[in-house]
């Protein structure tokens, strides 16, 4: 079997591994499994985007769209529907970010199907996404509610609630990223245990339903939840106006 | 039989990891209640099936978080071994 650290197989083994290290201004920097898998996912997304771009540009409005164009339209319709239903009139501004987030997280989550270790099973990948969401929330809060509105929101029921409200604000990115990370990690661990401890079942094709549950179902749900919560928090921050 | 301090801590960490996963009870019960209510909501108003389903999935995923924290604690105890350093 493959013995490359990127692939999930062999022993019970789901930890992140360093592939090689190099010196960067005196610090030792490791290129790990996560980097390689993220690059593969990005490469797939870029190729998909290039093909989609070409298909859309070449599209002829007089005839029925081809298979690939149909799939792209289906995807955009679906994502547009989600963003529109949550954010309403602000949808156009955030649709691009949500699309990117959705595609990246979804492809990362289901990359277990391709034999990769999902990049989202690394806290170093999900935490930055949580931080980006936090930045969006804070920026939009200050932009749309002004400083007075933010201060008013902080001492919501009473002035002494400020620390609790602050903790609540800072818990958002942490809980958001931990939820995604732990869900994908649990799937990865289960698959690694299955592959490592029950090798006889692997040979007769049993793990497919586990893959469907842990990679496809759980991955899709968590992607949906991450995007949904991001949109909800951001539109909360924008307020009704 | 002699048990060294490190082995003792490892064993206790494994027990602690097992105990941490008791946290899975809460989300299980909560998700079950959410799914039950969603089922009755769909029974009362079958037209709102897609709305009810997406709301249920979102609520369940948020409720799952506490259980996942338990899982994370177990993982840390088993693989990072913070107590051994």
Residue A168 in domain: yes
The pLDDT tens digits for B39-67 are: 999 999 999 888 898 889 888 888 888 89
Task: Mutation target for B interface from A182, A186, A193, A227: give the one with most B CBs within 10 A.
Answer: A182
Residue A240 is predicted with a pLDDT of 63
Residue B20 is predicted with a pLDDT of 92
For residues A227 and A101, is the Cβ–Cβ distance under 8 A? yes
Residue A13 in domain: no
DSSP per-residue letters across A159-188: GGGHHHHHHHHHHHHHHHHHHHHHHHHHHH
Closest residue to A183, CB basis, from B54, B57, B68: B68
Average pLDDT, stretch B62-80? 88
Q: What is this model's ipTM? A: 0.82
Q: Nearest-CA residue of chain B relative to A16?
A: B79
Average pLDDT, stretch A204-213? 76
Residue A47 is predicted with a pLDDT of 95
Residue A12 is predicted with a pLDDT of 65
CB atoms under 10 Å from CB of A78, counted, come to 11
CATH of B21-78, one of 1.20.120.1810, 1.20.20.10, 3.30.360.10, 1.10.3210.10: 1.20.20.10
Residue A12 in domain: no
Residue A230 in domain: yes
Closest residue to B71, CB basis, from A175, A182, A221: A182
Residue A148 is predicted with a pLDDT of 84
Range from A35-49, A117-131, A140-154 carrying the lowest mean pLDDT: A140-154
User: A166 or A205: which carries more pLDDT confidence?
Assistant: A166
The SS3 assignment for A26 reads coil
Range from A108-117, A189-198, A202-211, A212-221 carrying the lowest mean pLDDT: A202-211
Counting the structural domains of chain A, the total is: 1
**For chain B, what are the domain ranges?**
21-78
Residue A202 is predicted with a pLDDT of 67
Residue A156 in domain: yes
Average pLDDT, stretch A195-211? 72
For residues A210 and A198, is the Cβ–Cβ distance under 8 A? no
- In chain B, residues with a C-beta closer than 8 Å to the C-beta of A178 are 65, 68-69, 72
Residue A198 in domain: yes
Q: How confident is the model at residue A133 (pLDDT cuts 50, 70, 90)?
A: very high
Residue A129 in domain: yes
Residue A31 is predicted with a pLDDT of 84
Q: Nearest-CA residue of chain A relative to B59?
A: A225
The pLDDT tens digits for A86-113 are: 888 888 888 889 999 999 999 999 888 8
Q: What does pLDDT average to over chain A?
A: 83
> H-helix or E-strand containing A27?
strand A27-32
Closest residue to B57, CB basis, from A179, A183, A221: A221
Residue A1 in domain: no
Q: Which two tokens stand for residue A224?
A: 């949906």
Query: For chain A, percent helix, then strand, then coil, each to nearest 5?
Result: 75, 5, 15
Residue A25 is predicted with a pLDDT of 80
Percentage of chain B surpassing pLDDT 70?
100
Average pLDDT, stretch A27-34? 84
Residues 6+ apart with CB under 8 A from A220: A106, A109, A110
């Amino acid at each position: 079997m493959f013995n490359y650290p990127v692939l999930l197989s062999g022993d019970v083994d789901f930890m992140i591994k360093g592939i090689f290290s190099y010196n960067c201004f005196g610090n030792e920097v490791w290129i790990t499994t996560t980097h390689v898998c993220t690059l593969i996912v990005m490469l797939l997304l870029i190729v998909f985007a290039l093909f989609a771009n070409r298909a859309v540009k070449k599209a002829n409005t007089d005839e029925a769209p081809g298979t690939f164009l149909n799939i792209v339209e289906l995807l955009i319709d679906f994502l547009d529907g989600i963003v529109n239903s949550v954010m309403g009139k602000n949808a156009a501004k955030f649709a691009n970010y949500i699309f990117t987030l959705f595609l990246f997280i979804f492809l990362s989550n289901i990359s277990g199907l391709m034999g990769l270790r999902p990049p989202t099973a690394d806290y170093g990948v999900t935490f930055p996404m949580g931080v980006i969401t936090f930045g969006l929330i804070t920026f939009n809060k200050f932009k749309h509610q002004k400083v007075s509105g933010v201060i008013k929101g902080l001492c919501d029921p009473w002035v002494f609630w400020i620390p609790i409200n602050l903790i609540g604000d800072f818990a958002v990115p942490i809980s958001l990223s931990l939820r995604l990370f732990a869900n994908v990690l649990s799937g990865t661990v289960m698959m690694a245990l299955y592959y490592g401890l029950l090798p006889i079942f692997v040979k007769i094709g049993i793990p497919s339903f586990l893959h469907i549950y842990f990679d496809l179902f759980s991955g899709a749900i968590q992607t949906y939840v991450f995007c949904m919560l991001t949109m909800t928090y951001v539109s909360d921050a924008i307020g009704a106006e | 039989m002699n048990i060294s301090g490190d082995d003792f801590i490892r064993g206790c960490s494994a027990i602690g990891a097992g105990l941490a996963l008791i946290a899975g009870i809460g989300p299980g019960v909560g998700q079950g209640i959410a799914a039950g209510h969603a089922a009755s909501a769909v029974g009362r108003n079958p037209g709102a099936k897609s709305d009810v389903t997406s709301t249920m999935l979102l609520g369940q995923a948020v409720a799952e978080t506490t259980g996942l924290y338990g899982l994370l604690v177990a993982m840390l105890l088993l693989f990072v071994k913070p107590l051994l350093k």
